[in-house]
């Protein structure tokens, strides 16, 4: 008897946009994942409760939920129950998400497009390609591995996590023989986790900074912008800065 798993033709696989992530307005359940029939997905709801118990923000729950929604849609397309998913299914999903074209809203299609990889002339941000960014794929792999780790430990999911760690890094203590003179290297990396390219720090061009500085109407705003640029503080930190946060007596 041949138990070999048949190869899946991913080039012909159609993954429908079924199911959705619903914002509930309830702080105890800010988001709910529903399947193609409109029913709440119970194992995902349990995972969301774990996130909230760990102090994660609602925005984090939404981010994790989008990763799980893509996985649930893929499972629906290949007709595999979530608790029967194997590493072959996880492998195929990892290939599919890296090669598929990312669905976009109709309004986004009407925007003028730049060459893929060309930086924005103002922000310096690289124009995304038609597919999912490597950082999105890597985040998805991490979320799904944690999701299955939770249900494996609770006995409600597969005994083997479909998204395993890399074979070379599954044993031994992380950073067990790290040389303090060397840089830290990633440990416990997932087998299906892509390499995320290092981002080049973005900066505002000098002429745009001069234009921004010229239109400011008060010395207060000029001082805030000068402090922002010179210190590298985050925009959220700058906006939330209060007078009591400034130590004017420190040297």
In a domain? residue 123: yes
* More confident of the two residues 89 and 116: 89
- Whether 80 and 19 have beta carbons less than 8 Å apart is answered as no
- In this structure, the answer to whether residues 148 and 236 fall within a common structural domain is no
Spell out the residues 6+ positions from residue 213 whose beta carbon is closer than 8 angstroms to its own.
222, 225
Give the angle 60-103-130 at the CA atoms, nearest 5°.
100
- Which of 122, 154, 186 marks a domain boundary? 154
In a domain? residue 143: yes
In a domain? residue 64: yes
For 123-180, write each residue's pLDDT tens digit: 666 666 788 989 999 999 999 999 999 999 999 999 999 999 876 655 555 556 667 7
For 36-86, write each residue's pLDDT tens digit: 999 999 999 999 999 999 999 999 999 999 999 999 999 999 999 999 999
In a domain? residue 121: yes
Q: What is the predicted pLDDT for the residue at 94?
A: 95
- In this structure, the answer to whether residues 222 and 119 fall within a common structural domain is no
CA dist list (Å): 2 to 5, 10, 68, 86, 218: 9, 22, 33, 18, 78
State which residues form the domain around 232: 206-245
- In this structure, the answer to whether residues 234 and 143 fall within a common structural domain is no
Residue 187: name the closest of 172, 200, 197, 202 by CA.
Answer: 172
**Count of structural domains, the chain:** 2
- In this structure, the answer to whether residues 36 and 148 fall within a common structural domain is yes
Helix ranges (H only) for 56-202 are: 58-78, 87-99, 106-109, 134-154
- In this structure, the answer to whether residues 43 and 144 fall within a common structural domain is yes
In a domain? residue 182: no
- In this structure, the answer to whether residues 55 and 116 fall within a common structural domain is yes
- In this structure, the answer to whether residues 144 and 20 fall within a common structural domain is yes
In a domain? residue 201: no
Tell me the C-alpha distance between 172 and 178, whole Å.
13
């Amino acid at each position: 008897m041949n138990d070999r798993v048949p190869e899946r033709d991913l080039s012909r696989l159609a993954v429908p946009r079924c199911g959705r992530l619903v914002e509930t307005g309830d702080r105890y359940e800010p988001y709910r994942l529903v399947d193609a029939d409109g029913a709440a997905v119970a194992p995902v709801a349990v995972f969301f409760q774990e996130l909230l118990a760990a102090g994660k923000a609602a925005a984090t729950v939404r981010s994790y939920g989008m990763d799980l929604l893509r996985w649930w849609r893929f499972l629906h397309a290949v007709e595999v129950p979530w608790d029967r998913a194997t590493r072959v299914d996880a492998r195929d999903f990892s290939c599919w998400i890296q090669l598929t074209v990312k669905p976009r809203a109709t309004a986004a299609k009407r925007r003028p497009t730049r060459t893929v990889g060309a930086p924005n002339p103002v922000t310096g941000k690289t124009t995304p390609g038609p597919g999912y960014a490597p950082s999105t794929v890597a985040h998805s792999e991490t979320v799904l591995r944690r999701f299955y780790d939770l249900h494996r430990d609770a006995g409600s999911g597969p005994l083997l996590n479909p998204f395993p760690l890399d074979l070379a890094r599954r044993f031994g203590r992380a950073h067990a023989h790290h040389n303090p003179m060397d840089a830290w290297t990633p440990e416990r990396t997932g087998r299906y986790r892509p390499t995320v390219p290092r981002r080049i720090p973005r900066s505002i061009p000098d002429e745009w900074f001069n234009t921004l500085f010229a239109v400011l109407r008060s010395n207060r705003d000029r001082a805030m912008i000068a402090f922002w640029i010179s210190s590298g503080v985050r925009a959220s930190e700058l906006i939330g800065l209060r007078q009591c946060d400034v130590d004017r007596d420190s040297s």
